[in-house]
Amino acid sequence: MHTLKDKVALITGGASGIGRATALLFAREGAAVSIVDVDEAAGALAAEEVVTGGGRALFVTADVTRAEDCRRAVEATVAAFGGLDVLVNSAGIIRRADILATSEAEWDRVMAINVKSIFLMSREAIPRLTARGGGAIVNIASGWGLKGGRAAAAYCASKGAVVNLTRAMAIDHARQGIRVNAVCPGDADTPMLREEARQLGRSEEAFLAEAAERPLGRYGRPEEIAQAVLYLASNRSSYVTGTTLVVDGGGMA
């Protein structure tokens, strides 16, 4: 069952939410995981949980909007585990506002964390994946990367960019044996979902109840999104590249 046995995976945003769930799942599936995040305390705890469970983990504190931090994270991963096979770009933030209520600084920050980080980290990782004969990159996009949403202009724009960047990278790097795909989650119970409620001035209870209004009648769990990431990172999806996998309980339908 160890679908990632002997693989090395680097996961940005790995200290919480979907990134953390992905790191824990990958470790159970046999991968050595490099958890990259700006949150030192939460990142160290996630790595400790992997090690306590018998897995291999490294935590690297890094700001993924900075080229030098991305380079250092990849180098530390390779130094610790001998190479790199999978990159999961999961770092992300949200700003719930229309363009009139979004400052230039907020726009730039959303774009930097949600899009620029994928460019910077992938640029460092691709030569390492190539050196191993290929690998997989999985970008965490959003259902709002495929359709618009209310009061989330910067976020929607950023996730739309992630979807099309994924396609472009898949075309560019297929000959190097690198598959590039995106997961588009619907609402899942993560700290970011609860942050949305705060930004909108809504109670968490009411906001989560609204998030559950989809065919399956509930919002998702980070662990469920992680299963989709695992599929795209593993050889089970060996003929899948340049695609978006929607995991949203039927919300898009």
pLDDT of amino acid 27: 98
Of 2 and 152, more confident: 152
The answer as to whether 42 is a domain residue is yes
The answer as to whether 68 is a domain residue is yes
The answer as to whether 14 is a domain residue is yes
Our count of domains for the chain comes to 1
Provide the annotated active-site residues.
155
The answer as to whether 65 is a domain residue is yes
Domain that holds residue 125: 8-186+221-246
pLDDT of amino acid 169: 98
Query: Per this entry, what is the length of the chain?
Result: 253
pTM of the model: 0.97
Token code pair at residue 251: 């919300």
pLDDT at 213 > cutoff 70: yes
For residue 231, give the amino acid letter. Answer: Y
pLDDT band of 179, cuts 50, 70, 90? very high
pLDDT of amino acid 131: 98
The answer as to whether 72 is a domain residue is yes
Average pLDDT for the chain: 97
32 forms bridges with which residues in the sheet? Answer: 8, 56
- Other beta carbons within 10 Å of 162: 21
The answer as to whether 46 is a domain residue is yes
CA pair distance 209, 228, nearest whole angstrom: 24
The answer as to whether 191 is a domain residue is no
pLDDT of amino acid 1: 67
CATH of residue 50: 3.40.50.720
The answer as to whether 240 is a domain residue is yes
Residues 214-227: tens digit of each pLDDT: 999 999 999 999 99
